[in-house]
Amino acid sequence: MFRATALNLHFSQPLAIVDLETTGASPRHDRVTEIGIVFMADGQVEREWSTLVNPGCPIPYAIQRFTGITDAMVQDAPHFAELADELRAQLAGRIFIAHNARFDYGFLRSEYRRLNARFAAPVLCTVRLSRSLFPEHHRHGLDALIERHQLYCSARHRALGDAQALEHFLRSVVAPLPQERVAAAIRHAMQTPALPPQLDADAAEDWPEGSGVYRFYGADGKLLHMAASAQVRAAVLSHFGPGKKGGGLSRLARAVTRIECDETPGELGARLAELRLRRLQHADAPETPWFALRLQAGAASGTAALERVDLSATEPGEWTDLYGPFRGATALTTTLRELCTAWVLCAQRVGLEAGRGPCSAGKRCKGACSGGEPLATHDLRLATALGGLRMPSWPYGGRIGVVERAWDERADIHVFDQWCHLGTYSPADLPDLPDLRVDLRFDGEVFRMLPRQLAAAREVLDLTQRARSL
């Protein structure tokens, strides 16, 4: 039996355990379709309240399948504007508790903003609370909590059912734990960060805890900074500590007036989104080609032992036995000059100079260009020098899909082949992915980050094998 009064020791206000269903994942663009709240005080459930909400727009089919809430169900439901005053009165004076509270709290704040109104409340995120209390577990989504702690849930992915599961988590799992441990976890989960004075004091409530891309804008609307992170909120807040010289805020923190964040189910999706946004930002700039090098075994005297391969203009079948990649001819040339100096290589033999006779390197060349050193000896040293730049072969038999799942079980499937990103899709698109027709085009930025991301991937689909079996 749980201790009914244990929660009272940690909260000075009554509680509102809230869950929302929505038309999508973006508070800025999507709308609420259902609200469920469990009200608690003195460690006991006072009452429950729920309502469907007409979002004023169609509910995507994938969301209808996920939640079971259809367009027909919300057709005669009240719009949020009709519920706003009643909802505010019900939440007044209570601690707002939700699973990944940035999502639910952010949606309510956005709905009120559309009505030119402001909503604010003290917030406790049960994802952060679970992570703090049970750090030995990797997964803290609601499905994981329900399975791990055998929580009661009357209807998964419906607002009141999910709110009931959180109430059960607080009463039967959190309340019986040692008081000091719970108090410390709650303090950590409800900690309010200090922000620069030009930002709204509660702006951080809209920033996701998990993966995504964040952007800083200045007073003139100019983009000041953009980055991807596996922990967006923590990454944004890291910019607001003392400057490197310890003299107050950094220059970036003083200049930012607006912050926008886009949440993704995982870190790989965040990195890909950042690349896409950067390319859109520089869409008018000329594209820089990517190059690689291939060692030409037994190349004749007077010719270069390295072939330059333009990855941007070749087919995937030619991306074998390569070294690189190099973004632009300048980066390639710079690397070759550095290798010549470090490994005493011949400038002619590596392709930096043309012609016959001694190269311009002088004593920094052992004479492969003038007969002073056997070509085989030089080229063996060249192969050793290039060893750290060898491009790995594609480790799969063909096309794959890397699946990333968010805290709320939303998922993205990132499709790759030969180190190329073919696109990001939803699980509903899975039957069509094996037949996806996309030209492979080498992208060095994707190539550089993908090996580490693939090594960390928890779910990889063999789409080539799936295509054979269809």
**For residue 444, how many other CB atoms are within 10 A of its CB?**
21
Helix (H) or strand (E) holding 229: strand 223-229
Is 380 buried (19+), middle (13-18) or exposed (0-12) by CB count in 10 A? exposed
Per-residue pLDDT at 298? 83
For residues 60 and 385, what is the distance between their CA atoms, to the nearest angstrom?
55
202: CB partners within 8 A, 6+ apart: 120, 192
Per-residue pLDDT at 6? 54
For residues 67 and 32, what is the distance between their CA atoms, to the nearest angstrom?
12
For residues 444 and 457, what is the distance between their CA atoms, to the nearest angstrom?
20
Sheet holding 306-310, edge to edge: 306-310, 290-295, 323-327
CB 206 within 8 A of CB 264: no
**8-state DSSP, 288:** P
Structure confidence by residue, pLDDT tens digits, 164-209? 999 999 988 998 899 889 989 998 888 777 788 888 877 887 788 7
Q: Is the pLDDT of residue 5 over 50?
A: no
For residues 188 and 250, what is the distance between their CA atoms, to the nearest angstrom?
25
**8-state DSSP, 242:** B
CB 50 within 8 A of CB 36: yes
Chain Cα centroid distance, residue 79 = 32
**8-state DSSP, 169:** I
Q: Under the phi-then-psi rule, with left for phi > 0, alpha for psi from -120 to 50, and beta for the rest, what region is 5?
A: alpha
CB 461 within 8 A of CB 400: yes
Q: What is the mean pLDDT of the chain?
A: 89
Q: 1 pLDDT band (50/70/90 cuts)?
A: very low
Q: 3 pLDDT band (50/70/90 cuts)?
A: very low
Domain ranges of the chain: 6-191, 206-263, 290-389, 400-469
Q: 469 pLDDT band (50/70/90 cuts)?
A: very low
Was domain 6-191 assigned CATH 3.30.70.1230?
Answer: no
User: Which residue is it, tokens 């005080």?
Assistant: 41
Strand partners, 97: 17, 124
Three-state SS sequence of 86-153: HHHHHHCCCEEEECCHHHHHHHHHHHHHHCCCCCCCCEEEHHHHHHHHCCCCCCCCHHHHHHHHCCCC
Identify the sign of the CA torsion 138, 144, 147, 148. Answer: positive
User: Which residue is it, tokens 């180190």?
Assistant: 419
Mean pLDDT of 258-267: 91
Per-residue pLDDT at 164? 96
- Classified as helix, coil or strand, 160 is helix
Mean pLDDT of 338-367: 87
Q: Is the pLDDT of residue 470 over 50?
A: no
Of 2-11, 161-170, 212-221, give the lowest mean pLDDT range: 2-11
Global pTM reads 0.69
Sheet holding 258-263, edge to edge: 223-229, 212-217, 258-263
Q: 243 pLDDT band (50/70/90 cuts)?
A: low
Mean pLDDT of 370-383: 92
Per-residue pLDDT at 14? 94
- Residue 238: both structure tokens together: 């890291």
Per-residue pLDDT at 242? 61
Radius of gyration of the chain measured on its C-alpha atoms: 29
Per-residue pLDDT at 29? 81
* CA-to-CA separations, 393 to 398, 403, 419, 454, in angstroms, rounded: 12, 22, 9, 14
Q: Is the pLDDT of residue 86 over 80?
A: yes
Structure confidence by residue, pLDDT tens digits, 401-447? 999 987 656 789 999 999 999 999 988 888 888 888 888 889 999 99
For residues 421 and 130, what is the distance between their CA atoms, to the nearest angstrom?
35
Per-residue pLDDT at 466? 63
Bridge-based pairing state of the strands 123-125 and 95-98:
parallel
- Residue 57: both structure tokens together: 């727009």
CB 51 within 8 A of CB 39: no
- Residue 286: both structure tokens together: 């000329």
Structure confidence by residue, pLDDT tens digits, 307-338? 999 998 888 888 889 999 999 999 999 999 99
Identify the sign of the CA torsion 353, 359, 365, 370. Answer: positive
Mean pLDDT of 361-373: 85
Q: Is the pLDDT of residue 468 over 80?
A: no
- Residue 74: both structure tokens together: 């919300």
Q: For 173-198, give one letter per residue: b (16+ CB within 10 A) or e.
A: bbbeeeeeebeebbeebbeeeebbee
For residues 196 and 240, what is the distance between their CA atoms, to the nearest angstrom?
7
Mean pLDDT of 247-272: 88
Q: Is the pLDDT of residue 44 over 90?
A: no
Mean pLDDT of 92-102: 92
Mean pLDDT of 347-370: 85
